[in-house]
Structure 1
Amino acid sequence: MTNTTDTTIYRVLGSDEWAQALSDGQYDGAPHDIADGFIHFSTGDTLAATLALHYAGRDHLKLLRVPVAPIADKLKWEPARGGTLFPHLYDVLSVEYVTRVDDVRLGDDGVHVLPEELR
């Protein structure tokens, strides 16, 4: 099942993980991704909830933007959280597919501050 309305998907990770991915030329995923057999991504609509649920209290994160088109053949849209479809990449993520990287910091209220166009 695909979600044709999303042309960009998002991955949150630690600054150290991104530095390692840049060094390796690819992101293999976090331990939970590796255990699940795919890399978890979010859509623009699910990004804030993903940050709150899985990254609460973590600062100095990176937000990767990845276009769907070049990885579409390895991407599956699968239900999670009450049936919401999430993009799962059944492959490593080559850093060449990352079109933008933003810093994500915690605000004074403890909530992650997303780039303005994603708020």
Structure 2
Amino acid sequence: MRDTVAYKILTGEQLARLLADGTFAGAPVDLADGYIHMSTADQAQGTLDKHFAGQDDLHIAAVDLTALGDTVKWEVSRGGALFPHIYADLPLSAVIVHGPVERGPDGTLQLPH
């Protein structure tokens, strides 16, 4: 069974746009690739470390994949793992919770709840 919640790491500007517009078309990499890159709970730390190292003002949104229906495709990506990709804009209505990126004492990503 695949995860029903996935995570999107956003810059402060991207989160503000999502909240103001009620939808998010994607980060530059998403727009270039034609889908919104998402990560499962187990993949989010690796995504943060690989693609957002050294960046400040980061936020993470938990997204209900079931609300997005057939726009979600699970595709092979980093290390041969299946990642959820959204082939549509991300509506704010599918965001369960969001918050600033925070790390625990051991440096691990703390997912919003």
**TM-score, normalised via structure 2 length:** 0.89
Deviations 1:36-80 (A, max 9, x none): 000000001111000000000112211100111111310000001
**TM-score, normalised via structure 1 length:** 0.85
Alpha-carbon offset, residue 108 of structure 1: 8.6
Alpha-carbon offset, residue 82 of structure 1: 1.9
5+ residue gaps in structure 2? Answer: none
Q: 1:116 to 1:8 in 2, by over 3 A?
A: closer
Identity in percent: 40
5+ residue gaps in structure 1? Answer: none
Q: Whole-Å Cα distance in 2 between the matches of residues 15 and 45 of structure 1?
A: 23
- What's the counterpart of residue 110 of structure 2? 114
Q: Whole-Å Cα distance in 2 between the matches of residues 21 and 5 of structure 1?
A: 26
Say yes or no: does 1:17 pair with 2:14.
Answer: yes
Q: Paired residues, what number?
A: 113
- Report the residue type matching 1:114 in the other structure: Q
After the TM superposition, which segments of 4 or more aligned residues of structure 1 sit over 3 Å from their partners?
105-109
Say yes or no: does 1:78 pair with 2:75.
Answer: yes
Q: Whole-Å Cα distance in 1 between the matches of residues 20 and 91 of structure 2?
A: 11
- What's the counterpart of residue 44 of structure 1? 41
Q: Whole-Å Cα distance in 1 between the matches of residues 28 and 69 of structure 2?
A: 23
Say yes or no: does 1:57 pair with 2:54.
Answer: yes
RMSD of Structure 2 on Structure 1 (CA): 2.0
